[in-house]
C-alpha cells in the first residue's frame, strides 16, 4: 500500500523533498492510516512529518479524548504536534452555517494558517480523504444539481481559495494522498499493524445527508447496480476536473474580451454597477462557452445560477429576449439587453424597498439592506494582520471602541458629511457618491454605518479618518460588505 501512496504523490506532485508536512489526524481510521503510511514513505519522499489536529468542540468529552489520543500518537512517533480548537456550534450560529460547513471552515482556516507561504510553519497539510469520500461527494453534488465544477468534487490538492491542477507550478497547501484507496483497505492495513483508532459516533448519524449517502445509497448502488461504483464515480470526478480546467481557461479569455480587466469589473460591482458586456464576440461561440460566461458574470454580482436561469440569460444575450425587458437575477440584480450590449445592474427598488431604513448592526453580526450585506466583527492577532483594506475597499478597519457604542445602518440623508481617511476634509455624502459615479437609481438607498450621529463608514470608501484603526492597536472593528450569495466554498 505504501507503493500506491508513493505513486499517487509523485504523479500529482503533492510533495517535494524537504517539505514540512503536517498530517491532519482526527483520530479516525483513515487519518491514522495516512499517518502510518507517510511514516513508512517519508524517507523515500524526503519529507519532515508532524501531526495536526483540530478539536471542533462538538462532542464534549469524546472530542477531548480524540485530541488526547492523537497527542499520544504523535508523542509515540516522536513527532511535533500542532493543535487547534474552535467552538463550532457557536460559529455555525453566528455565521448561519450548517454544523458540517462551520466545522470545515474552522478546520481549514487552521490548516491554511499552518501552511501559509509567508508565516506558516509547514509547507503542506495532508488529509485522509479516500476513494469513498470522493464517491460520496460526487453523488452529493449530483443530487444537488451540480455543474462540471461540482462533479469534479475533491481535488488531489488545493491552495487557499483555489483548486490547483497537478501541473501547477506553485505547490498546493492541502494535499490528499489517499484518494485512490478505500476506507475498507485502510482499516485492514491498520489491523495488520495492530494500530488502534478512534470511532466517531456521529459518522453513523443518518440525519446528516452525507451519512445517508454513505450508509444507505452507496451500498444499494454497489450491491444492485455496479460493484465498482466508487471507482466509477471517482473516474467521473477526474474527467470533470480536466474538463473544468480547460473551460476555465477558455471562459477567462472570453470574459476579458467582453468586460475588460477583472479589477475594473469588481470596482463597478462595489459601486453598485452597472456592468456592461459587448455581445458581439459571443455571437459565434458554442453554447457551452456562452453559458459559462453568463454564469461567471452573474456569479460576480453575487448570483447563483441554475440551468433554467442560465438558459434565460443566454437567450436574452442572443437576441431572443426583448430589448429593454429586464431579466431578474439574484440579490437585487437584473440583466437587460440593448442592441449589442448586455447590462447587469441593480434592480430599481420596490415601494417597500424605497422606504427609509435604520437597522441595528450587532458586533459580531450582519444586516442586509438595499441589496447589500454588511458584516461587523472584532479581529485580533493573525486575523488582524490579514484584514487590510483594498484600493476601493469593501472592508475597513476601525477602532474597536466603536463596537461598544452601538452601530446602526441607515440610508444617507441630505446634509450628511463623511471624511474618508487620507483626504483633506469631510465632504457631503451626495458629492462623494457623484464623484464615484454611483448610478442615479442607487444613490437614495446607499447605506451608511453610523455610531450615534456620526458616520463611521460609507461602503465603497476608505475608513473614516476620525475612527480608523491605528498601527499598534491590539484589536480592531472590521466592517465589510460581502456578496449576498457568498458561501464557505471549502472542499471537504
Is the distance from CB of 120 to CB of 92 less than 8 angstroms? Answer: no
Is the distance from CB of 314 to CB of 294 less than 8 angstroms? Answer: yes
| Cα separation values, 341 from 293, 338, 416, Å | 14, 5, 36
This prediction has a pTM of 0.68
Banded pLDDT at 324 (limits 50, 70, 90):
low
Look at residue 163 in the predicted model and tell me its pLDDT.
Answer: 38
Look at residue 487 in the predicted model and tell me its pLDDT.
Answer: 39
Rounded to whole angstroms, the Cα distance separating 135 from 429 reads: 54
Most distant pair of Cα atoms in the chain: their distance: 77
Residue 187 or 358, more confident: 187
3-state helix vs strand vs coil in the chain, percent to 5 = 40, 20, 40
Look at residue 266 in the predicted model and tell me its pLDDT.
Answer: 55
Range in 183-187, 226-230, 415-419 the model is least confident about: 415-419
Residue 28 or 359, more confident: 28
pLDDT tens-place string over residues 101-137: 889 999 999 998 999 887 789 999 999 999 999 999 9
CA 203, 205, 207, 212 torsion: positive or negative?
Answer: positive
Pairing of strands 341-346, 372-380: unpaired
Look at residue 470 and give its three-state secondary structure.
Answer: coil
Look at residue 15 in the predicted model and tell me its pLDDT.
Answer: 95
Rounded to whole angstroms, the Cα distance separating 34 from 128 reads: 6
| Cα separation values, 378 from 66, 225, 399, 467, Å | 31, 53, 10, 14
Rounded to whole angstroms, the Cα distance separating 291 from 262 reads: 19
Is the pLDDT score of 330 beyond 70? yes
Look at residue 118 and give its three-state secondary structure.
Answer: coil
pLDDT tens-place string over residues 272-288: 557 778 888 888 899 99
Is the pLDDT score of 44 beyond 90? yes
DSSP letter at 348 equals P
H or E element at residue 106: helix 99-114
The full length of the chain comes to: 492
Look at residue 482 in the predicted model and tell me its pLDDT.
Answer: 76
Is the distance from CB of 290 to CB of 318 less than 8 angstroms? Answer: yes
Structural domains in the chain plus CATH codes: 2-240 (3.40.50.620), 260-346 (1.20.59.20), 356-482 (no CATH)
Residue 392 or 17, more confident: 17
pLDDT tens-place string over residues 420-446: 988 888 999 999 988 888 777 677 778
Range in 255-259, 270-274, 457-461 the model is least confident about: 270-274
- Mean pLDDT confidence for 355-378: 83
Map grid coordinates 463608514 to a residue. Answer: 457
Banded pLDDT at 340 (limits 50, 70, 90):
confident
- Mean pLDDT confidence for 386-399: 68
Is the pLDDT score of 471 beyond 50? yes
What are residue 393's phi and psi, to 5 degrees? -65, 135
Residues of the chain above pLDDT 70, percent: 85
| Cα separation values, 276 from 250, 304, 324, 339, 374, Å | 20, 19, 14, 12, 25
Look at residue 54 and give its three-state secondary structure.
Answer: strand
Q: What is the mean pLDDT of the chain?
A: 85
- Where are the strands (E) in 89-216, listed by range? 124-126, 157-159, 162-163, 174-175
Query: For residue 228, what is its C-alpha cell?
Result: 465498482
Is the pLDDT score of 476 beyond 80? yes
Angle 262-270/287-300 helices, nearest 10 degrees? 50
What are residue 307's phi and psi, to 5 degrees? -65, -40
Amino acid at each position: 500500500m505504501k507503493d500506491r501512496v508513493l505513486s499517487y504523490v509523485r504523479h500529482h506532485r503533492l510533495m517535494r523533498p524537504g517539505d514540512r508536512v503536517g498530517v491532519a489526524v482526527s483520530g479516525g481510521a483513515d487519518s491514522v492510516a495516512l499517518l502510518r503510511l507517510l511514516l513508512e514513505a517519508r524517507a523515500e519522499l524526503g519529507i519532515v512529518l508532524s501531526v495536526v489536529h483540530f478539536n471542533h468542540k462538538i462532542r464534549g468529552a469524546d472530542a477531548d479524548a480524540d485530541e488526547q489520543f492523537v497527542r499520544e500518537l504523535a508523542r509515540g512517533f516522536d513527532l511535533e504536534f500542532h493543535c487547534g480548537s474552535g467552538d463550532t456550534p457557536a460559529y455555525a450560529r453566528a455565521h448561519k452555517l450548517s454544523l458540517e460547513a462551520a466545522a470545515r471552515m474552522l478546520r481549514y482556516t487552521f490548516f491554511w494558517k499552518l501552511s501559509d507561504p509567508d508565516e506558516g510553519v509547514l509547507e503542506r497539510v495532508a488529509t485522509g480523504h479516500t476513494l469513498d469520500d470522493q464517491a460520496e461527494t460526487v453523488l452529493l453534488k449530483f443530487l444537488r444539481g451540480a455543474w462540471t465544477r461540482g462533479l469534479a468534487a475533491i481535488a488531489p490538492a488545493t491552495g487557499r481559495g483555489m483548486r490547483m491542477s497537478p501541473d501547477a507550478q506553485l505547490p498546493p497547501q492541502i494535499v490528499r494522498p489517499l484518494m485512490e484507496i478505500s476506507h475498507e483497505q485502510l482499516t485492514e492495513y491498520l489491523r495488520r499493524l495492530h494500530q488502534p483508532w478512534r470511532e466517531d459516533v456521529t459518522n453513523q448519524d443518518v440525519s446528516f445527508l452525507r451519512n445517508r449517502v454513505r450508509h444507505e445509497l452507496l451500498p444499494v448502488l454497489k450491491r444492485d447496480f455496479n460493484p465498482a461504483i466508487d471507482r466509477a464515480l471517482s473516474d467521473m470526478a477526474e474527467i470533470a476536473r480536466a474538463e473544468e480546467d480547460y473551460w476555465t481557461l477558455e471562459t477567462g479569455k472570453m470574459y476579458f474580451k467582453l468586460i475588460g480587466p477583472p479589477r475594473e469589473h469588481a470596482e463597478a460591482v462595489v459601486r453598485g454597477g452597472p456592468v456592461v458586456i459587448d455581445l458581439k464576440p459571443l455571437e459565434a461561440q458554442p453554447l457551452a462557452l456562452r453559458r459559462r460566461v453568463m454564469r461567471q458574470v452573474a456569479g460576480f454580482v453575487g448570483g447563483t445560477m441554475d440551468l433554467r436561469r442560465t438558459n434565460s440569460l443566454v437567450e436574452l444575450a442572443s437576441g431572443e429576449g426583448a430589448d429593454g425587458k429586464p431579466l431578474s437575477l439574484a440579490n437585487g440584480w437584473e440583466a437587460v439587453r440593448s442592441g449589442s450590449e448586455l447590462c447587469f445592474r441593480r434592480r430599481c427598488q420596490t415601494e417597500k424597498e424605497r422606504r427609509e431604513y435604520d437597522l441595528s448592526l450587532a458586533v459580531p453580526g450582519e444586516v442586509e439592506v438595499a441589496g447589500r450585506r454588511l458584516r461587523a466583527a472584532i479581529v485580533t492577532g493573525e486575523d488582524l494582520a490579514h484584514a487590510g483594506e483594498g484600493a476601493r475597499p469593501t472592508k475597513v478597519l476601525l477602532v474597536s471602541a466603536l463596537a461598544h457604542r452601538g452601530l446602526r445602518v441607515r440610508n444617507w440623508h441630505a446634509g450628511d458629511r463623511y471624511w474618508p481617511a487620507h483626504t483633506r476634509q469631510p465632504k457631503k455624502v451626495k458629492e462623494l457618491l457623484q464623484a464615484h459615479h454611483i448610478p442615479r437609481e442607487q444613490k437614495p438607498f446607499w447605506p451608511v454605518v453610523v455610531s450615534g450621529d456620526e458616520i463611521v463608514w460609507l461602503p465603497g470608501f476608505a475608513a473614516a479618518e476620525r475612527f480608523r484603526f491605528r498601527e499598534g492597536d491590539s484589536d480592531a472593528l472590521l466592517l465589510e460588505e460581502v456578496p449576498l450569495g457568498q458561501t464557505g466554498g471549502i472542499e471537504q
